[in-house]
Chains A and B, each alone.
Chain A
Amino acid sequence: MGAPAMNRFTAGFLVLAIWLSAFAQTQFSTLRDLLSVPLALGPALVCCVALGQGLGATVTVAVLSGLLSDSLSASPLGAAVPALFLLGFTLHLQRHLILRDQRFAQFWIGLGAGVAVPLLTLATLGLTRSQPAAGAFTPVQLLTLGLLNGIACPALFRVLDLLHRTFDYRPLTSSSFRPDRETVRGRQFRPR
């Protein structure tokens, strides 16, 4: 099953979305005041692209999202890339098994991604010399991140669908009629 070709508008939207979502992670203090959780929607974005676009777009979004996020963070550069890439790559390979048009499936995929990506990033950081702060409150933060991404994932799917419908060429509809195979009835034929 081939992924739809991405036009310039969709590609531009994706780059803009990655850039803005990386910046948004450092802003919006309401959630941070309550739970010390940033508005990190990178995993949801990678899910949408992995299930709706090609492998090239998935890898680009995952790598770009990881690098932009790391550039604003105290994490070593490249720490967020493997987690986002593995998520996108796995979802893209298994997309024919996923009910990607169903809202509940989108929610659960977003939720899973929102929990799995920080965990994988923590595992990556564990392999480096870094000492990330994780404690008794970390599961609550991970769950909040999962819920955030679970809610954002269906919304992002809708936006991408809308872009696809608005800016992509419509598929050429051809009828099965072929004039060279037309049955020409003789004079004797009389309709009842």
Chain B
Amino acid sequence: MLKRTHYLVLIGVGTLTLVLLNLPEPLQARVKSVIGASFLPLFGIRAATDSLLDRATYQALPRSTLIDNLLRLERENAELRVSILRANDALAENQRLRAAIGAPPRGPWRPRLARVVGREPTTWWRTLQINLGSRDDLKPDQVVVNGDGLVGRVSQPGLTHSRVALVGDAECGVAVVVRETRDLGIIKPGQTLSGDGGLVEMTLMQNCPGIMAGQTVTTSGLGGVFPAGLPVGTIVDTRNEDGNVFTTARVRLSANLNRLEEVWVLQP
């Protein structure tokens, strides 16, 4: 038998929940950032601990390993310089061709390094938090990548930290193209296909008999959020749906979204 206090508690918590869930989105984001600010000391402690550990690791590494790493990086740097020379040449050619057909020129990206400071506390969203915010000029929809490929987009920038919606999250649908066949598709948001979160589902615009496992998927540039040509992943398998009208493919993402420590935010 419920007492009067129990009814009061039920009504109180029910009302609070209804009010919170029906708050307008900007106000809700503001309230969230105010509550989330209570974790800033913990984020600070974590950053300090990471930095201390990094320093301790460098101190503990033998000199020979450091020299090996230095030589490897110098070699890699030289290779990348040659690649950049070739890329600059291709870029100039691309800009000339775009000008010739009257397409607007593509602006260069300014990549900004961000550290991953937190992951999504639930299993049904695919987001993470980075240590850059609106004070670092981060804006919604800025593209986030790492060395392997596309990671996601900035979904909610706070003052000091921002939330990034990862590829496959409900807030991060990606227009893609199969590099080999030029078939267009969409990375379907809101699917959990594997434990490690590395598999997503791609729906192609039509029945595409030419696509097969092992082909590369990149961003198509359609939709206006993600620039064209960013590697997204590799096709694992395909199947036809709705009486062979659409082709669906499972794609293994290039970037391991569970092991991200540092990412690049592409700022225009």
Contact = CB atoms under 8 A, between A and B. Distances in A.
Interface of A: 19-20, 22-23, 25-27, 29, 32-38, 40, 55, 59, 62-63, 67-82, 85, 89, 93, 118, 121-122, 125, 128, 130-138, 140-142, 145
B258 A33 contact: yes
A110 to B, nearest CB: 17
A77 B28 contact: yes
A79 B28 CA distance: 12
Nearest to B39: A23
Nearest to B35: A71
Contact of A74 (B20, B39, B127): B127
Task: Specify the main secondary structure of chain A where it touches its partner.
Answer: helix
B236 to A, nearest CB: 15
A103 B120 CA distance: 31
Nearest to B20: A78
A26 B118 contact: yes
Contact of B258 (A27, A36, A140): A36
B67 interface: no
A118 B122 contact: yes
Given A26-B129, A77-B31, A138 B259 contact: no
Interface residues of B, number: 53
Nearest to B197: A36
Nearest to B128: A26
B102 interface: no
A133 B173 CA distance: 12
B259 A74 contact: no
Contact of B129 (A68, A72, A85, A122): A72
A70 B192 contact: no
Nearest to B200: A133
Contacts of B120: 26, 38, 73-74
B117 to A, nearest CB: 8
Contacts of A122: 124
A78 to B, nearest CB: 3
B175 to A, nearest CB: 18
B171 interface: yes
B201 to A, nearest CB: 9
Contact of B21 (A35, A40, A78): A78
Nearest to A75: B122
A140 B196 CA distance: 12
Interface string B1-30: 010011001100110110111010000100
Contacts of B191: 133, 135
Nearest to B119: A26
